Amino acid sequence: MKIKTGFLTVAAVVALTGCTYNDGAPNRPVTGAVIGGATGAAIGNAIGDDTKATVIGGAIGAAVGGAIGANMARQERELNQQLAGSGATITNTGSQLRVILPEGVTFATGSATVAAGFRPSLREVARSLKSHPNSTVRVVGHTDNVGSAAYNQQLSEDRALAVARILIRDGVSSSRITYSGRGYYEPITSNATVSGRAQNRRVEVVITPTN
């Protein structure tokens, strides 16, 4: 049965509506504090409509944001240890963790079946997600530009779904997970070279803290 991008229950996931990445490399805990402080200040100002309320809201938000940033940094360290030598890489943008799974270790060429040798690494990702439950998870497939747009779109969706299903089978709640394919429309480098195309063929697991 063909499963299209959309809501899945126990054996599947919900459609991903979109994602924007911040590719900077800020100080992770401080970034959380700054974001939290700005949000808290805005809330305090809206509620109290005076400087005191704004300051209090900002302080509360900074504390919460700092805790979120510290937890992200801790999860990043854990994932780096758990996935060492697997070929996967982890990027902390300050607001998200991106676990990048290259095609070369995750899938055979043209296939949407996760390689048996890489499944233990996905179990480690699932274990991390279960240990840090306060986040949403977006699984996004990407390809190079070899072949038609329709072919690459379907392949990217199928690969994202395959990874999402394994995470769910390994115990991550399906309510946290979305998936989608981007085809060849979001390369991270030029498709003009063999090495560039290899980098563009990937699945990303994007972890966004919720509180």
Identify the CA nearest to 24 among candidates 90, 93, 72: 93
Instruction: Note the pLDDT tens digit of each residue in 152-204.
Output: 999 999 999 999 999 999 999 999 999 999 999 999 999 999 999 999 999 99
- For range 86-103, the mean pLDDT: 96
| Domain-located, residue 38 | yes
Higher pLDDT, 97 or 33: 97
Q: Distance between CA 144 and CA 192 in Å, rounded?
A: 10
Residues in the chain: 211
- How many domains does the structure of the chain reveal? 2
Query: Do 117 and 179 have their domain in common?
Result: yes
Is residue 90 in some structural domain? Answer: no
Measured distance CA(167)–CA(173) in Å, rounded: 8
Which residues touch 71 (CB under 8 Å, ≥6 apart)?
A: 132, 134, 209
Distance CA 10, CA 1 (A): 16
Measured distance CA(18)–CA(21) in Å, rounded: 10
Quote the domain boundaries for residue 137.
1-21+96-211
Which of residues 59, 85, 111 is at a domain's end?
A: 85
**Do 38 and 105 fall within a single domain?**
no
Which residue in this structure is represented by tokens 């996905």? 122
Residue 23, pLDDT score: 38
143 Cβ neighbours under 8 A, 6+ residues apart: 152, 155, 156, 183, 184, 200, 201
Same domain, 16 and 72: no
Helix (H, G, I), strand (E, B) or coil at 138: strand
112 and 174 part of one domain:
yes
Q: Are residues 11 and 102 in the same domain?
A: yes
pTM check: above 0.85: no
Residue 6 lies in a domain: yes
In a domain? residue 54: yes
**53 falls in which pLDDT band (50, 70, 90)?**
low
Domain-ending residue, one of 57, 85, 113: 85
Q: Is the pLDDT of residue 1 over 70?
A: no
Residues 152 and 189 in one domain: yes
Structure confidence at residue 35 (pLDDT) = 42
Please tell me what DSSP assigns to residue 115.
P
Same-domain status, 17 and 33: no
Residue 187 lies in a domain: yes
Three-state SS at 154: helix
Q: Cα–Cα distances in Å, from 147 out to 66, 120, 157, 184?
A: 45, 31, 15, 10
Query: CATH number of the domain that 106 lies in?
Result: 3.30.1330.60
Degrees, nearest 5: CA angle 170-86-100: 75
